[in-house]
Amino acid sequence: MSNRELPLTDVTSPACEVTPLARQPLTAQTATELAAVFKALSDPVRLRLLSVIASHTGQQACVCDISDGFDVSQPTISHHLKVLREAGLLSSQRRGSWVYYRVELAALHQLSTLLDIALPKAVTR
């Protein structure tokens, strides 16, 4: 027997069972779609913007209410909001001269379902 070929043993003890971390593997299409969402969230400004909107009543806020506290220009804020909207994390609605942004709960639910995995006890703290 070579070093690469290890004998297989039959494990019947329930204590030795290994539980998979993921419920099922992602399809190529789902992985591509989710990668775009995670890419949108990978910027600290966009992550903060999503957090600010999600923390408002009804998970929606006027662009005039969410621009304060950021060290970037208004056009940059608008760009980041557009990226979040295109990723499906936000929707927008014009009301008069203001644009209101709303968190898309279905998108957050999809992410939370993907990230809700049972970690082995050795990994959790």
Residues 6+ apart with CB under 8 A from 98: 62, 63, 64
For the chain, give every domain's residue range: 28-111
What's the pLDDT at 125?
56
What's the pLDDT at 114?
79
What's the pLDDT at 9?
47
What's the pLDDT at 43?
96
Could you give the residue ranges of the DSSP H alpha helices within the chain?
A: 28-41, 44-55, 63-66, 74-86, 105-115
Residues of the chain below pLDDT 50: 1-2, 6-11
pTM: 0.73
Architecture of domain 28-111 in CATH?
Answer: Orthogonal Bundle (1.10)
What's the pLDDT at 6?
47
What's the pLDDT at 14?
56
What's the pLDDT at 112?
82
